[in-house]
Structure 1
């Protein structure tokens, strides 16, 4: 048996051990619900230049729980792990993304290995995978006490120290049972909607609980030439009608790290479409290519799927189960703080509570027919009777599995200063309308 084969076997054993640890994690339903809500509340905070999603450590564990079946290691993947020593628990997450795995096989990992260390703690950026649409950043934190309880904030800065106009997600800190104390490893998943990756990127980690906020900054170069001119656009231009609403699949854009499906909604539709339910791409072998989110615009959406850049299917079918939509004349909800009543909006939305706390207005709603919903009830364009605008400070919702009624809440920043009635526009709505569909995508054009 060769040394290389032994190395592969040892790596498989380490990955299997990490998987077994996650399999043994007990996640109480209430704790999972609280963790998801915490992520949603953080996600709903308004950003002027960017949008940020935070997920919980339980969410990260749930991703690892998907890591089932026989663990086999290709030479490219083994080399990948060797370049990120001690991060087997993180790279096991990447194995869930077929597109990223193929990008790794094509040697698209950029090793960084740069550390900022002070005040007894350190942050290391181990490596990145990037193209024009997405960047996955592997990082490690050491020696920052209590960060698992308090958490941290992350900022992404360009060469001039300015915030990047990007959306990105990262998990709350969590440690592995056999890791060194105060050591945390994970990824930052970045989406480039309005810009390209910069030539140099700075990641700033801010400890939330420190009396004097400690910040660790890591600046590193980004080699954009590895994926230069690799973008492929496949025209589709097919229109479907769901629940009486016209939806056009405009194009599929292939990148090494993801596939982006651009969808446009007919401006003459009678409903505002918030989401198309259960979207998936299925190839000729019956394999489903997962979707990991979307970027929603005023007239449509861009849906992100696992990349099939290095393995183009012979046939590809887009499937879905329906959509979340609301009549355009029911988008505005009026709230009377004096009588604590609701006016307008969809029939199934009820105001349960209106109260003032620390100068903020807190509103609590119930939503009927929201069984198994995957999105919540959120608002935008909040104004009082004088036209003064207010921002959403926090928002969250509690989905229902067993019952048809879900609950949602929103905190309006300095809402106590509102004069008269509050008008709020619904920006997402959890009720799903069943309308299954299937559409062939011409990937071989």
Structure 2
């Protein structure tokens, strides 16, 4: 017999594959009706599905909360557990792993509040695991304080230590225009595994007159009785003569982590896996995360990447299969973009020449890029090398393909003199390995 949540799958499919355009940060903060995501770089991370631009990466997300959630009695009971849960469910409607956590009552109600002169915040609850945490909070701006600026969000231990890499995503509440209220979520990737921990969620605000105010919300993370499921795979996969090793898959109540190592002897540079999923009974799939950290790697193991998928923790974890398809890659000899910023010319680029029309105006480097309808990666790195092999960094960068055929990349050059030409590392490119069907690995 099929799971009672099958009807939810139909609902979910109708909301998939939506275009999410980027918009201006200041308007997002002041209007309070936009989704936002911020990565706090407490450890090295790269190769994001939707890479960051300077400051917060902001996207509009208009949501529809459909009454078909009532088709699952267990889910309906969880939703009615306390006021405000419907907004939380609307926030995570695209993540069936987090929805399963709520359905299976793996949601810890917190309810602690604090406020400044202009803002009140309530930490509604959390979905915890030993390696990750998702927090849900409600923020209400008081009358005449909608211009208060949210400067930073921190996740700290009771002793003030930072606990990990945090990603913030926000969504408008249905009553924002009248009540100045929005429901939001924060996902945290811990620096080290946690079983029980006293923690503090901290918000730093800048008021309308420049004064700084802080809100601190203490809570307890407790996952003593929630073990992870780990599959030691260690299986090699070859696609279009390129090799990769699937090292292990770890499933916890928040996310699924898939650790993959690319063979350094490959002739192509693999930028990422566009189609990666866990497949269960009746064809159900758990796909890559759409919010928060989507992949990470470290300098210690540059060829090893961990990808993050939705969690199948509360489903039957038997007979699961890992599917690998549409691998983004480029010949290693073509992974550099070399530009002379003085003559505004491209010295070197991949052979299909997607980069063009270099312009330098007011210290800002603009480059046109020809993308594709399903390409979202920012194609070049924020670091570059000058002609003397000195590593430099752009002051900021913005504008990316975002699923459009054409885009203009904008990068602010350093104020100090640059020795031309400069070399930018290509981090993503709409070129893919050829394969007849996805590679499939059974998780045992």
CA shift digits 1:94-114 (9 cap, x unpaired): 354332233334433222222
Q: Which moved more, 1:64-73 or 1:92-101?
A: 64-73
1:199 paired residue number: 197
What is the Cα deviation at residue 338 of structure 1? 1.1
Give 1:351-370 correspondences, 5 Å limit: 351-357=356-362, 360-367=363-370, 370=372
TM-score under structure 1 normalisation? 0.78
Partner of 1:242: 239
Q: Secondary structure at the match of 1:33?
A: coil
Structure number having the greater helix percentage: 1
1:11 corresponds in structure 2 to none
Q: Is the Cα contact below 8 Å between 1:123 and 1:218 reproduced in 2?
A: no
Q: Distance in 2 between matches of 1:326 and 1:68?
A: 45
Q: 1:302 offset after TM fit, Å?
A: 1.6
2:438 corresponds in structure 1 to 438
Cα–Cα, structure 1 residues 224 and 438, in superposed 2: closer, same or farther, change >3 Å? same
User: Residue in 1 aligned with 2:31?
Assistant: none
Equivalent positions of 1:258-407 (< 5 A) are: 258-292=255-289, 293-297=294-298, 298-347=302-351, 348-357=353-362, 360-367=363-370, 370-386=372-388, 387-401=390-404, 405-407=405-407
Cα drift, residue 199 of structure 1: 1.9
Deviation at 1:256, TM superposition (A): 1.9
Contact in 1 for aligned 2:115/2:215 (Cα 8 Å)? no
Does the residue aligned with 1:166 lie in a helix, a strand or coil? strand
Distance 1:191 1:226, change over 3 A: same
Structure 1 unaligned spans of 5+: 1-18
Q: Is the 8 A contact 2:207 2:213 kept in 1?
A: no
* Cα separation, 2, equivalents of 1:197 and 1:335: 50
Change (3 A) 1:138 1:99: same
User: Any stretches of 5+ residues in structure 2 without a counterpart?
Assistant: 1-10, 29-35, 46-50
CA RMSD of aligned residues (A): 3.6
Structure 2 equivalent of residue 414 of structure 1: 414
Give the conservation status (yes or no) of the 8 Å contact 1:147–1:207.
no
> Structure 1 residues 324 and 79, CA, compared in 2 at 3 Å: closer, same or farther?
closer
Q: Taking structure 1 as reference, are residues 45 and 154 closer, same or farther at Cα in structure 2, changes over 3 Å only?
A: closer
- What is the total number of aligned residue pairs between the two structures? 404
Superposition TM-score, scaled by structure 2 size: 0.78
In structure 2, distance between residues paired with 1:44 and 1:115: 23
**Could you say if the C-alpha distance between residues 118 and 420 of structure 1 is closer, same or farther in structure 2, counting changes exceeding 3 Å?**
same
What is the alpha-carbon distance in structure 2 between the residues aligned to residue 184 and residue 248 of structure 1? Answer: 43
1:364 deviation in Å? 2.0
Return closer, same or farther for 1:50/1:169 CA change in 2, 3 Å cut-off.
Answer: farther
CA offset digits 1:317-355 (Å, max 9, x no partner): 333432111222222222211101122231223242332
Q: Deviations over 1:29-51 (max 9, x none)?
A: 8xx53439999xx9798946476
- Give the corresponding residue for 1:221: 219
Q: Give the whole-Å Cα distance in 2 for the aligned partners of 1:138 and 1:241.
A: 41
User: Aligned with 2:438: secondary structure?
Assistant: strand
